[in-house]
Structure 1
Amino acid sequence: MDIIEKLEWRYATKKFNSSKKLPQDKLLTLKKAFNLTATSFGLQTIKLLIVENKEVRESLVKHTFNQKQIFEASHLLIICIQKNIVQEDVDTYYNNIKQIRNTPDTILDPYRKDLIKMMGKMSLQERLQWSKNQAYIALGNLMTVCAIETIDACPMEGFNPAKYDEILELDKKGLKSVLLLPIGYRADDDIFSEFKKVRKPLEEAVIEL
């Protein structure tokens, strides 16, 4: 299938085959895809939490409006953001550039100072929203890669982040949960897999000047 056929095949999976597990090579592909997601300035203030443990996932169902996909799926991906962005994050990023590309400080320092200054002008809420925007980019990227790899997925916002953070002890990691993506393989009796996609006509969705 080409990429459009893959995207036509993709749908928000409502029922997973709980007995079918995602192979490790597919999981590794998703890990790498997440890490290669474009983020603003390349700062990567997002993290991917992968939950395979069924007991943990079962405890989360009631905090996900009883949506059982998170339990039935092979794995649950949780996209998280940092609780804050500090100067150390910026310094680490530019030190990484220096190490990988051998870029001299004389070139990097002006950009480093500008980014520190920009972050310093933002409120905590603005920094959180800035990171949350990056999380949605990562979600879209993961969904596309899942389609290409013939992995079923269901993007989800409907959950109680505070309860997730408490149960998964994300506070200790300096993280907040933002988005969910259960992944695996659709159940044979998931009727939604046969539904035709409902989209606007292309000429209404796309404007060309």
Structure 2
Amino acid sequence: MSLLDKLQWRYATKKFDATKKIPADKLEELLADVRLAPSSLGLQHYRIVVVSNPEVRAKLREAAYGQSQITDASHLIVFAAETNIDETYVQKRIDEVVNTRQTSYESVEGYKQMMLGAVSRLSDEQRLIWAQKQAYIALGILTAAASELGIDNCPMEGFSAEQFDEILGLKEKGLTASVIATIGYRADDDPYSAYAKVRKEESELFIHI
């Protein structure tokens, strides 16, 4: 099946089969795909929390208005934006570039100054919005990659970020929950799986200039 076929197959799964778990190798492949998501300046302005612990997910369900996907899906994925994107954060990225590409700090000094300039021009609020936007890009990769692997998924914004941060201890890590997704396998009796997919017509959606 093509990616187009897979995306036609996927839907925002409302009812997961709680007895079906994603095999470890498939989960590892999915996370490897998401790790390669693009981000502005390559800074990867977020961390990704993979929650499988049932006790923790029960608490998170209460912080997500009781939505059953939180506890019934195989795993809950929390995209948490970095709240401290500063010179130290940029330097860590530079260290990674130098070590991975086996190059010198001098050769990437221009890149470093460009990143520092971009960061310094933003207020704390703007940096957080910037980071959250990058997290959504990673969410898009997860949605497509999961579909390619035959894994059902449901992106979700209906939750209390403040409560998620508290339950998961994110604030202490310099993070805040931005968007979440549940992944697993649909229940046979989920009525949403039979609904026709509704999207704008191509002529209404795409503007060719």
Provide Cα deviations, 1:78-114, integer angstroms capped at 9, x if missing partner. 0001111121111111121112213333331122122
Counterparts of 1:107-126 in structure 2, within 5 Å, are: 107-126=107-126
5+ long unaligned stretches in structure 2 = none
| 2:174 corresponds to | 174
Q: What is the alpha-carbon root mean square deviation over aligned residues?
A: 1.0
Could you tell me which residue of structure 1 aligns to residue 64 of structure 2? Answer: 64
Higher mean C-alpha displacement, 112-121 vs 33-42: 112-121
Corresponding residue of 2:31 = 31
Return structure 1 stretches of 4+ with deviation > 6 angstroms. Answer: none
State how far apart, in whole Å, the 1-side matches of 2:135 and 2:196 are: 28
How far the C-alpha of 1:174 sits from its partner, in A, is 1.4
Q: 1:93 is aligned with what amino acid?
A: R
Q: Following the alignment from structure 1 to structure 2, what is the Cα–Cα distance between the partners of residues 38 and 102?
A: 21
Matches of 1:29 and 1:61, distance apart in 2: 26
Separation in 1, partners of 2:89, 2:34: 19
- Alignment correspondent of 1:197: 197
Take 1:169 and 1:58, find their aligned partners in 2: how far apart are those partners? 16
1 CA distance for matches of 2:110 and 2:182?
41
Partner of 2:29, secondary structure, is helix
Aligned to 1:67, the other structure's residue is in SS state: coil
1:186 alignment partner AA = R
Letter in 2 for 1:201: E
Does structure 2 retain, via aligned residues, the 8 Å contact 1:51–1:75?
A: yes
Report the equivalent of 1:45: 45
Instruction: Tell me what 1:99 maps to.
Output: 99
TM-score (norm 2): 0.97
Tell me by how many angstroms 1:117 deviates.
2.4
Measured against aligned partners, the alpha-carbon deviations of 1:149-187 in whole angstroms (never above 9, x if no partner) come to: 010010000100000101111112111011110100000
3-state SS in 1 of match to 2:156:
coil
Matched letter for residue 82 of structure 1? E
Q: How far 1:5 sits from its partner (Å)?
A: 0.8
Residues 103-157 of structure 1, C-alpha deviation per residue, up to 9 Å, x if partnerless?
A: 3333311221221122122110010000001011001000000110010010000
2:76 partner SS: strand
* TM-aligned CA deviation for residue 194 of structure 1: 0.5
> Percent identical across equivalent pairs?
41
Name 1:139's counterpart in structure 2.
139
CA distance in 1, matches of 2:198, 2:51: 31
- Match of 1:149? 149
List gaps (5 residues or longer) in structure 1. Answer: none
Could you tell me which residue of structure 1 aligns to residue 127 of structure 2? 127
Between 1:26-35 and 1:131-140, the stretch displaced more is 26-35
Q: What pairs up with 1:79-94 in 2 under 5 angstroms? A: 79-94=79-94
Residue 20 of structure 1 corresponds to 20
